[in-house]
Structures are given as structure tokens and as C-alpha cells.
Structure 1
Amino acid sequence: MRYLFLLIFSLFSLTTVCAQEVKLNNGKQIGSISSDGTIRNRSNAQIGKISSDGTIRDRNNTQIGKIESDGTVRDRSGSQVGRIKSDGTVYDRNNSQIGKVESDGTVRNRQNSQIGKASGVKREWVAVAFFFFYFN
């Protein structure tokens, strides 16, 4: 339930270097993620950033997490919150599958239902925005 809450919150909180739209399943744009990792909400305000080294920052440039090279996602205290496999499958801290980001950017929940789309963006970044962190 926590992840559903975070997902819904991040969906409504998620555009400039070649930004790719982040959309809900109904096609409504909720924000964007640019090629430099900048995350913007639907009002185009910067709400976070994921650096090339995997550092995840909020709108105040405070580090809130990290994506490690093996796909492990950690929070600000270094605790593992999940993992993203190379095929886009997303797991929570208990190693339960919570979703998947397909190669075309389709985002699916644990029941394999499409919940969104973010084409042209790194899978890891999409997974972080949809499943792990609330950017406000």
C-alpha cells in the first residue's frame, strides 16, 4: 500500500535538455525527465534530479538517494529500498516484484497492468520516479 501511495503521489508530482514526457496510462502528461536527469512536474518546475553517477536529489539539491551500478536503490541513509534489474524489473526492499519498466518506456505495476509511459529515458530513472521517491 505504501508503494501505491508513493506511486500516486509521484505521478502527480513528476520537463529541459531534450525532456521526455512522463504520462499516466490515460495519456495525461504528469511531468518530464530530461536527458541530464532533471525531473520536472507538469508545471515545469524542477522537483528533482538524478545525476549520471546515480545520485538522486530533491528540488533543494539535497541528496535523497542513490542508484548503484548494480541497480540497487538506496535512500539518503544508505538503506536499500529496492532494486532495478537490467531487464527493467523493479523489486522492493523485501525482493518482491513491484513493477517493470519495459524497453519502450511502458511502466507496469506488479499485476502487469500498464500504469504509465516514459519513452526515451533511462529505465532506472523512470523506476525511481514511479516506484521509489516522492519528489515535491
Structure 2
Amino acid sequence: MNEASTEKADNEKFCADCGEIINIKAEICPKCGVRQMIAPNSFAYTAPNGKSKIAAALLAFFLGGFGVHHFYLGNVGLGILYLLFCWTFIPAFVSLIEFILLLVMTDDRFNEKYGQIDQ
């Protein structure tokens, strides 16, 4: 293997599995067929179970008083509790705090807490 073949351009990256040089926007490596991971701290990031941190935060902000974000994240019990007490506006205040916490939460922490695939 010669030295020039291991140098990549600005619009290229190495495949996470086989190390082949591929286009930086490639979702799947054309050589080995392995799906490439999205860069951390990307707004397009989704957890392995398909849940999005940004979607959960937006649901907490706009519909948090009704617990919609908890239903989305799989916390049905908390969602029902928010629905039962939505007339007190307490869930609305709590959901604003949860909105901020979801925005500042790292992707790894979000995966630990909400990204597990149910079986």
C-alpha cells in the first residue's frame, strides 16, 4: 500500500469498520456496507431505539404540561401523572426544567437513560 492512498481530502473520512476512504456524507461504506455513525453533538443524532433528544426537548417545552414528552420517552407512568395534575400547572413548570435538562444532556447520557431498545 502506498503512502498517497492513506491520505484523505477535506471532504472524505475513514470508514469506521474497514478503514476505507469514503465521502464524508456517506451513510454506508460502499466497500464493506457498514452504516457509519453520526458525529457526536449533531442535531440529527438519534438514539439506537429511534428517540431524538431534540424532539423530546421540544415536546417538553410545548406539550410538557400534559406529559407528552414522557410518553414519547417511554415513561408512561410519569406521563399519566402529568395528565392527572395538568390542571394545577405544576407539570408545566416541571417540564420547563426538564426541557433545559434535555437540551444540556450529553448524547451518551441520553442513550443511557432513554436510548435502550426494548425487547
**Normalised by the size of structure 2, how large is the TM-score?**
0.23
Of the two, which has the highest radius of gyration? 2
The structure that is helix-richer by fraction is: 2
The structure that is strand-richer by fraction is: 1
